[in-house]
Amino acid sequence: MKTNSVFDRLSKAMCCGCGVCAGICPTQAITIRVTSEGINYPVLDTTKCIFCGKCQQVCPGFGFDHKELNISIFGQAPENALIGNFQAIYKGYSGNGDLRFSCSSGGLVTTMSIELLRNKVVDGVVVTRLKYGREVRAEAFIASTEEEIFNAKGSKYCPVSLDKAIIELKRNPRKVAVVCLPCHAIALRKAMSHDKVLKESIVLILALFCNQAPSYRALSRYLKKHKVSASQVTYFQWRGDGWPGKTKIKVDNQHEISELSTDAWATCFGSGYFTPLACYCCQDFFGDFSDISFGDAWLPEQKGDTIGTNVMIIRSDKGKQIVDGLVDAKKIHADNLRLQAILNAFTINTRTKRICYPLHANLIGNCPGVTGMSVLGAPSCKVVVKEFIRLVKLFVGVRLHA
Ligand SMILES: Cc1cc2nc3c(=O)[nH]c(=O)nc-3n(C[C@H](O)[C@H](O)[C@H](O)COP(=O)(O)OP(=O)(O)OC[C@H]3O[C@@H](n4cnc5c(N)ncnc54)[C@H](O)[C@@H]3O)c2cc1C
Ligand code: SF4
Ligand code: SF4
Ligand code: SF4
């Protein structure tokens, strides 16, 4: 039966599990569930669907006009297609040394979120925390205190759905900033162009650069490797405590297991075996549709940095005004970075995502890809070989971990 909903044409290649469809649905007919593959995926209660089509309008997997969306947000198409619209690029870090050390990169996102709340620019910030119980699961929520924002610091390399935060925002509208991934940002921008409450409530989008969000199977595998059952975990972090940081498990509030996050990434989370199909079809690395986007400062001059530094791309006037104010108030530190320096640092990410992943989307997904952008040009032989290896890993991974 045709429902006008996302379910008319849903596939795992086009669904990043962002949960915006479930958040926007007027009858709450959609629930986001964690599948046996460890990804977030929507489920429809057909008895509640009123065929309004709203979920389809906001879904990033249904594609969009990249140029049009840029013009509607920033007033122009991007001059550089690899990085999107921007006004300034900086490397920087939090003015609070403890925060800088304890966050994932340089602590800019947490510092900025706290300052936005403290200065009453917003009434809350959508951030992501971990919930412990039978399983360890991530939950996006509206933090309304500095403590809640602080406790939600750190990158969660797992699926994150915004559904509950959006439902809460629509129920009780207030000014918020949203910390999210590039796919979330696209879904939110689409939602904001259709939904007045969201348009008026979301005043700032802060996106994290994103190469992939590994499935929950990666986390299960990691805990198994360390002989810990999920129900024993009382604290988990992928990154933090310096740079690139430490992956830590606290077991039954008693003992702690810790290793370099680069080792945990290489052997488990970043192995490629746990990359969801949707991430293999996603073409946005830098968070093109945010006001400001943030990543790690993987720059040659940062070799030996043990505390942490961010790179940030300022895209909107609002973003620029906020960053300038925080630099003047010495809450954050920021130095100009040349466009070429950031492109060099992230060559592999941008080239594979912008050039190869549209091919994946067409070939394996038969869809526009999670963030359907256009193919920029023919990939080089080196890129094609790397992509071939990735696809073999994906193929093997799906079979090994299915
Ligand atoms: C899945 C994922 C993939 C990433 N891939 C890359 C990459 O390839 N290269 C790169 O340079 N940087 C990547 N990043 C970004 C990087 O890890 C840092 O998050 C970023 O540099 C900000 O650092 P910070 O110290 O300012 O963040 P912090 O101050 O530690 O704050 C992080 C904020 O992000 C929120 N958050 C954490 N995880 C998620 C999530 N999954 N979804 C939504 N919100 C979340 C937290 O609640 C917190 O508010 C990725 C992040 C994630 C979550
Ligand atoms: S009621 Fe509307 S938004 Fe909800 S599932 Fe049906 S078509 Fe989608
Ligand atoms: S990509 Fe997001 S909006 Fe689209 S179906 Fe999946 S969860 Fe819903
Ligand atoms: S790679 Fe793309 S689809 Fe996957 S989590 Fe990151 S932004 Fe979302």
| pLDDT tens digit sequence for 131-161 | 999 999 999 999 999 999 999 999 999 999 9
For 101, other C-beta atoms within 10 Å of its C-beta total: 19
Which of ligand 4's atoms lies nearest the C-alpha of 210?
Answer: 6
Mean pLDDT confidence for 263-283 = 91
Strands (E), 175-329: 176-180, 202-208, 233-237, 246-251, 255-260, 292-296, 310-314
| Model pTM score | 0.95
CA–CA distance, 51 with 67 (Å, rounded to integer): 29
For ligand 3, say whether the CB of 264 is within 6 Å of any of its atoms: no
Domain membership flag for residue 394: no
Q: Which of 1, 8, 9, 27 should be mutated for ligand 2, with most atoms under 8 A from CB?
A: 27
Closest ligand to 183 CA?
4
The pLDDT score that the predictor gives to residue 371 is 65
Q: For atom 4 of ligand 4, which residue has the closest CA?
A: 279
How many angstroms does the Cα of residue 72 sit away from the middle of ligand 4? 22
Q: Does 293 map to a domain?
A: yes
Q: How many Cβ atoms from other residues are within 10 Å of residue 173's Cβ? A: 14
Structural domain boundaries, residue 155: 65-214+274-350
pLDDT in tens, 354-369: 877 777 777 777 777 7
53 touches ligand 2 (CB under 6 Å)? yes
Pocket lining: 313 vs ligand 1, CB cutoff 6 Å: no
pLDDT for residue 64: 84
How many domains in the chain?
Answer: 1
Query: pLDDT band at residue 201, thresholds of 50, 70 and 90?
Result: very high
Condensed to tens digits (0 to 9), the pLDDT of residues 44-59 reads 999 999 999 999 999 9
Ligand 4 atom closest to 181 (CA): 7
Centre a 10 Å sphere on the Cβ of residue 327 and count the other Cβ atoms it contains. 16
Please indicate whether residue 60, judged by its CB atom, sits closer than 6 Å to ligand 3: yes
How many CA atoms lie within 13 Å of 112's alpha carbon, on the beta-carbon side?
32
How high is the pLDDT of residue 361? 79
Q: How high does pLDDT run on average in the chain?
A: 92
In a domain, 284, yes or no: yes
In a domain, 369, yes or no: no
- Domain-located, residue 221: no
CATH number at residue 142: 3.40.640
- Distance in angstroms (rounded) separating the CA atoms of residues 134 and 137: 9
Ligand 2 proximity of 354 Cβ (cutoff 6 Å): no
Q: Is residue 240 part of a domain?
A: no
Given a contact cutoff of 8 angstroms between Cβ atoms, the answer to whether 107 and 98 are in contact is no
pLDDT band at 383 (very low <50, low <70, confident <90, very high): low
pLDDT the model gives residue 402: 45
Rounded to whole angstroms, the Cα distance separating 12 from 247 reads: 29
Q: For residue 251, give every residue at least 6 positions away whose Cβ sits within 8 Å of its Cβ, in sequence order, or none.
A: 228, 232, 233, 234, 257
Instruction: Please indicate, yes or no, if residue 279 is contained in any of the structural domains.
Output: yes
